[in-house]
Amino acid sequence: MCDTFIALQPATEDGAIIFGKNSDREANEAQSLEYHPPKSYTSNSKVKCTYIDIPQVERTNGIIISRPFWMWGAEMGVNEKGVVIGNEAVFTKIKVSKNNVLTGMDLLRLGLERADSAKNAKHIIIDLLKQYGQGGVCGFVDKSMFYHNSFIIADKLEAYILETAGEFWVTKKVDKYYAISNGLTIGSDYDEIHPNAESFARKKGWVKGDFHFAKAFSDFLYTTFSACKIRQNRAIKILENKYKGINVRSAISHLRDHNSNDFNPANALLGKTICAHAGNSITRNASQTTGSMIVHLTKNKPTIWITATSAPCISMFKPVWFEDGVIPNLGEDLGAFYNENSFWWKHELLHRQILKDYNNRKNSLIFDFQNAEKEILDLVLHTNKKGFSISEKAFERHKQIIEENLPKISTLKVKNKPNIYYSNYFKKLNKKVKIPI
């Protein structure tokens, strides 16, 4: 499950566009932050996507993406042209194709690699959807996880919502702000629509009275248990409350939101919070925020603020740019097991130790992350400093905080032990990936 938002010029403090997404997936599904430079290809070249190969274009854009380690596609990203895309799993009445198709994450990455504007990316994804279809196994361990997709697609001038159900699709241009979660949102107020969407839905008996895309195609059960309405409504409320004042700092707070001052990740049945925490194998298994991204789309090159970790509430956002080294050294490539030489896994070890007594252990280190993050935010936003050296400084400080706090956190007395179901859930997860707790 995921949450994505976009704020356009009328809603932001500086008149830029701000994009944000929490990528929520299985807790043990490490997510890789990567830069892929622009590249030229010979004719008849193929690109190997997650499950199928398709013809490659002559030239691809440079892209910064956040990608679950085992798939080709990406959960979110931005290209050198300033196009940014985030996707959401949506559950529909259309049967999901399980083989020989593109995943929603493949569609996202292909859109970034090939588009020079948001409008162009929208049409590229629609064309690819028509040619190759969508679906496939989208879970890491959970091989029963199949879904369709919705997208927020933006550049420095405009943004679009693209929602799909099988081969059918609908689009809407954003005027001020928008938020999507794991359910269809576009009704009758669309701008473009698949030419056969309404007639197909009416033949199926899914339409009573006026046509409404989301009502016609949404699967009630999965959409309800994803708690997407709760999270989307919360996101809209946050954007409304900050209208005309949305900025990078408020975007960070948005992605950390728990909708409660006394939030405890061990207690909820459903994944109702924007900052998501896994908690059981049925309703909150694919509900851990394993990566977070904010893109500040100014008239110049975008600034990408990224955690490159799970749990933004106990992490820090760090800036990267399309220049110099782009992304600092994050250690060895990610895999299915804990690796002490990997930045994502090292932070995850800290995270798992905190989960043993979330509020008490979080409070013992949160000020370290907050102070380090504020220093970097002030440097970039107030003095307009940019560059690879700042990215390196931010990532090194994050690594230092992990190293300083891991020994202390792991020896703290547990004051409020989580319930047995939650504790056993994470014991099993920890054992599977051989994380040393």
Task: Please tell me the predicted confidence (pLDDT) of residue 282.
Answer: 85
pLDDT of 383: 85
Range of the domain at 286: 2-327
90 in any annotated domain: yes
Could you tell me the pLDDT band of residue 335, with boundaries at 50, 70 and 90?
very high
pLDDT exceeds cutoff 90 at 385: no
Query: What is the percentage of the chain residues whose pLDDT exceeds 70?
Result: 100
- Assigned token pair, 317: 């956002």
Q: Which token pair is 168?
A: 């059918």
Residue 395 lies in a domain: no
Per-residue confidence (pLDDT) for residue 82, from 0 to 100: 98
Inform me whether the pLDDT recorded for 365 exceeds 90: yes
Quick one: what percent of the chain has pLDDT higher than 90?
92
Q: How does the average pLDDT of the chain come out, rounded?
A: 96
Residue whose pair of structure tokens reads 């356009």 in the numeric block? 8
| pLDDT (0 to 100) of residue 132 | 98
Q: What pLDDT, on a 0 to 100 scale, did the predictor assign at position 290?
A: 98
SS3 423: helix
Report the distance separating Cα 399 and Cα 309, nearest Å: 11
Predicted pLDDT at 201: 98
Query: Which residue has better confidence, 324 or 84?
Result: 84
What pLDDT shows up at residue 105? 98
Amino acid in the structure at residue 341: N
Question: Sorting pLDDT into bands at 50, 70 and 90, what band is 352?
Answer: very high
Asked whether the beta carbons of 121 and 115 are under 8 A apart, the reply is yes
Give pLDDT tens digits for 172-187. 999 999 999 999 999 9
Count structural domains, the chain: 1
Confirm whether 363 is domain-assigned.
Answer: no
CB within 8 Å of 25: residues ≥ 6 apart: 31, 68, 75, 140, 286, 288, 290
- Predicted confidence band at 268 (pLDDT cuts at 50, 70, 90)? confident
Mean pLDDT of 221-237: 91
Residue 149 confidence (pLDDT):
98
Q: Where are the beta strands (DSSP E) in 308-381?
A: 318-320
Residue 54: other Cβ atoms inside 10 A: 15
> Of the listed 2, 49, 228, 275, which one is catalytic?
2
* Residue 356 located in a structural domain: no
Residue 270's pLDDT band, with cuts at 50, 70 and 90, is: confident
Let me know: does 51 contact 100? Beta carbons within 8 Å. yes
Q: What is the pLDDT of residues 187-226, one digit of tens each?
A: 999 999 999 999 999 999 999 999 999 999 999 888 888 8
pLDDT digits (tens, 9 = 90+) for 287-318: 899 999 999 999 988 999 999 999 999 999 99
Classify residue 375: in a domain, yes or no: no
pLDDT (mean) for 94-104: 96
* pLDDT value at 1 more than 90: no
Nearest to 74 by CA among 280, 265, 290, 257: 290
pLDDT score at 300: 87
- Most distant CA pair in the chain, distance: 63
With respect to residue 343, please indicate whether it lies within any of the assigned structural domains: no
Q: Are 40 and 265 in contact (CB under 8 A)?
A: no
Q: Is the pLDDT of residue 284 over 90?
A: no
Tell me the pLDDT tens digit for each residue of 135-146.
Answer: 999 999 999 999
Known active-site residue 228: no
Arithmetic mean of pLDDT, 4-23: 98
pLDDT in tens, 246-256: 999 999 999 99
Residue 62 lies in a domain: yes
* Site of tokens 């959401």: 88
Give me the mean pLDDT over the 68-94 stretch. 98
Residue with tokens 């030239």: 59
Could you tell me the pLDDT band of residue 395, with boundaries at 50, 70 and 90? very high
> What average pLDDT does this structure show over 400-417?
95
H/E stretch holding 78 reads strand 76-79
Instruction: Find the CATH number of the domain harbouring 64.
Output: 3.60.60.10
Number of C-beta neighbours around residue 337 at 10 A? 13
Whether 405 is in a domain gets the answer: no
